[in-house]
Structure 1
Amino acid sequence: MKILLIMDPGIPVPPKFYGGHERLVYLFAEEYQRMGHDVTLLAGPDSHCSGQTITFGINSLKRSGIQKLKEIFFVWKFLLKNHSEFDLIHNFGRLLYLLPIVNSASNKIMTYGRRVTPFGIRCINLLPNKNLIFTACSDFCVATGNVAGHWETVYNSIDFENYQLINQVKDDAPLLFFSRLDKIKGPHIAIDVAKRTGNKLIIAGNIPTTPDNIAYYEKMVLPHIDNEQIVYVGALNDMQKNEYLGNAKGMLFPLSGDEAFGLVMIEAMACGTPVIAFNHAAAPEVIDEGISGFIVNDIEEMTDAVGKLSSIDRTQCGNIARERFNVTSIAHKYLSLFNAK
């Protein structure tokens, strides 16, 4: 089968640091190729995969509206000319990319990894269309866009070969907070929990860039970083992620925003590290209560759950994550969608 994967420019596929969605696209490109399919990747500069790669646009998250319009026209031209060559067109980028071929016979999957804008879904479903399936990475995310069309939940995945399962850690192993240091991610809550429980906390992630979150970080996070109990280690590459995730007794995920999935949760689980998360967004779908972590409702419950981390079997935590979120199973799920129609 010939498969075309599409991703927006801005960050290369695969990314060197930040870029969870780009990492997923690469993972599926490699898996489809490994399964024996003929893969073409259409993505930003410096992208690559084991199949054919066609690059377009520029790598900048701050590129202009005119530049983004040029990118849309590039994809339209490519699809109008070549869509009939592919058995499946799997789009992780803009919905607008599919506009010229929305009513073609080509099998098309539009995949979302973040909150969906219902307006675009309604508009494209007002047009004649066929062989178009919308997917999102959690039931929570599907619910944000399921206003028209055919929707399916297909969970995200990671490359478990990049993570070492650590069966046991020391009693004084640190807690870990690993995310962008924005207010909705809750690093101030993780700091509070660490201080309440007397645990060391490792904070990893990008420092905010928006004015409101910079002010939050400087007031609520930075003053508490003493490099003794509260330690900031910066953004992490894949090797560093494996080290810090694997050597933590637990990861705190006190999210208050609309996280569509939370890849870092299964990255932690892959290392055997349980996750304590607020009962919000997709967290209840990702965490198996008492097996791979705990779902809590507030800071008091999160504090109490830290004391339960030792009851988690880290091997079982890692194994259930591998069973539920391995890339082979998720790729087969995508490829089965049209057979199931």
Structure 2
Amino acid sequence: MKILLIMDPGIAVPPPLYGGHERLVYMFAEEYQKMGHTVYLLAGPGSKISGTAQSFGINDLKRSKFQKIKELLFAWKFLYKKRKDFDLIHNFGRLAYLIPILNASVKKIMTYGRTVDAKNIYWINKFANQNLRFTAPSYDCVASVKSIGHWTRVYNAIDFSKYKLAKNVGPDAPLIFLSRLDRVKGCHIAIQVAKATNQKLIIAGNISALESEKEYFDKEIKPFIDNEQISYVGAVNDEQKNEYLGSAKAMLFPINVREAFGMVMAEAMACGTPVIAFNAGATPEVIIDSVNGYVVNNKDEMIQTLDQVKLIDRSHCRENAESRFDVTVIANEYLTLFDHN
């Protein structure tokens, strides 16, 4: 099968540093290639995969509207010209890229990674189309549009072969909070839970460049960092992520926003580390209570539940998550989408 993946310019594929969707696109490009397919990529400059990469646009997240229009016109011309060259076009970029080929016979998957704008879906379905499937990583993500078009929940994926299982941790193992240090991610609540239970807490993640979020860090996180009970280790690479997640007894995810999936939860589970998360967005879909963590409603329930994580089998925690979120599993789900509809 000949497969084309599309990603918006702005960050190269794979991303040199952060870039969640760009990481996913690269991972699927490599997985499709391993499965024996011929893979092409349309993405920003500097993008590289094992298959063939075609670049367009510029890598600048703050690029102008005029630049984005130029990119759209390039994508339209490219896709219309190549519409018969591919068996599957898997788009992680703008929905508008697909307009010239909506009614072409080529199979098309439009994958979303965040809450979907219903107006765009209503609008695109007014055009004649065929062989078009929409996917999102949680039912919560598509709650407002699930009745429009062909929707399937397909979880986000990680490559479990890159994460090490820590089968056992000691009773004095720390808790971990791993995320961008924005208020909605709830690091201040994780600190309060650690203080209330006299647990050590490792905080990992990058500080936002927004002034309001820097102020949040300076006032509600930094004063509690003593490098004894509460430690901040900064942004972490994949190797460090493995180390910190694997050495923790639990990851705290006290999020106050409707997260579409929450990749870090799957990464913790891949290390065998259970997750205690607030009941928001996709958390009840990602976490299976008593298997790989617990879903709670507030800080008090998080505190009360913390002692239960020792009852979770860390090997089973990973096995369950791997069966649902590993890249091989998810790639197969994408490639069989058209078999079920």
TM bin (shorter chain): over 0.9
Q: Which amino acid aligns with 2:104?
A: S
1:313 counterpart residue number = 313
Larger deviation: 151-160 or 205-214?
205-214
In structure 1, distance between residues paired with 2:146 and 2:213 = 31
Query: Does structure 1 residue 334 correspond to structure 2 residue 334?
Result: yes
Structure-2 residue corresponding to 1:189: 189
Q: What SS does structure 1 have at the residue aligned with 2:316?
A: helix
**Is 1:121–1:147's contact at 8 Å kept on the other side of the alignment?**
no
CA RMSD of aligned residues (A): 1.1
Q: Name the SS of the counterpart of 1:80 in structure 2.
A: helix
1:159-174 alignment, distance < 5 Å: 159-174=159-174
Moved over 3 A (4+): none
SS in 2 for 1:276: strand
User: What's the offset of the Cα at 1:121?
Assistant: 0.6
Q: Does structure 2 retain, via aligned residues, the 8 Å contact 1:142–1:152?
A: no
Distance, in Å, in 1 between the alignment partners of 2:81 and 2:144 is 33
- 1: CA distance between counterparts of 2:34 and 2:143? 32
Q: TM-score by structure 2 length?
A: 0.97
> Structure 1 counterpart of 2:70, which letter?
K
Report what 2:51 is aligned to.
Answer: 51
Please name the residue that 1:289 is paired with.
289
What fraction of aligned residue pairs are identical, expressed as a percent?
60
Deviations, residues 97-131 of structure 1 (Å, cap 9, x unaligned): 11111111111000001011111111100111111
Equivalence for 1:179: 179
Partner of 1:143: 143
Take 1:71 and 1:212, find their aligned partners in 2: how far apart are those partners? Answer: 32
Q: What residue in structure 2 maps to residue 205 of structure 1?
A: 205
Query: Is 1:3 the equivalent of 2:14?
Result: no
Structure 2 unmatched ranges of 5 or more: none
Matched residue of 2:276: which SS?
Answer: strand
Indicate if the aligned counterparts of 1:248 and 1:273 stay in contact, CA closer than 8 A. Answer: yes
Task: Work out whether residues 108 and 132 of structure 1, in 8 Å CA contact, stay in contact via their aligned partners in 2.
Answer: yes
Offset of residue 211 of structure 1 = 2.9
| Aligned equivalents of 1:49, 1:226: Cα separation in 2 | 43
Aligned residues: 341
What runs of 5+ residues in structure 1 fail to find an aligned partner? none
Letter in 2 for 1:283: T
Give 1:231 deviation, angstroms.
1.1
Alpha-carbon distance between aligned partners in 1 of 2:56 and 2:287, rounded to the nearest angstrom: 38
The normalised TM-score by structure 1 is 0.97
Alignment partner, residue 81 of structure 2:
81
Q: Go from structure 1 to structure 2 and tell me whether the alpha carbon gap of 1:334 and 1:310 turns closer, same or farther (over 3 Å shift).
A: same
Q: Following the alignment from structure 1 to structure 2, what is the Cα–Cα distance between the partners of residues 243 and 68?
A: 40
**Cα drift, residue 147 of structure 1:** 4.8
Deviation per CA, 1:119-175: give whole Å up to 9, x if none.
111110011111111110111112143252111111111001110000011211111
